[in-house]
Amino acid sequence: MNNTEVRQQINQYLDVLSSEHLQLVADFLAYLADKESEDATQELLDIPGFIESFKIGKKDIAEGQVKNWRTLSSSH
């Protein structure tokens, strides 16, 4: 089943739920979205040297030590 079909099926179920159950679904979806976001954050934090590199990047941006990505040439 593709995403469009799944969304259609979800919408069909939502159409018959009470307000109380709709709120329960909304809360559960919020939980899943937060969990997915936390997992993505943890994946970044697990990259060796990521935190230090991120800090250096933020410092470079604050100091204006950046290049416009539009002016960079592709190596391909």
Per-domain boundaries in the chain: 3-66
φ, ψ dihedrals at 69, nearest 5°: -65, -25
What is the pLDDT, as a whole number, of residue 75?
Answer: 60
What is the pLDDT, as a whole number, of residue 63?
Answer: 93
The closest of 9, 14, 15 to 26, measured between CA atoms, is 14
What is the pLDDT, as a whole number, of residue 1?
Answer: 85
Q: Which residue has the higher pLDDT, 74 or 21?
A: 21
Q: Are 44 and 50 in contact (CB under 8 A)?
A: yes
Q: How far is CA 49 from CA 27, 45, 67, in A?
A: 35, 9, 22
Residues 15-72: tens digit of each pLDDT: 999 999 999 999 999 999 999 999 999 999 999 999 999 999 999 999 999 888 888 8
What is the pLDDT, as a whole number, of residue 28?
Answer: 97
Please report, as a single letter, which amino acid is at residue 37: S
Q: Are 29 and 23 in contact (CB under 8 A)?
A: no
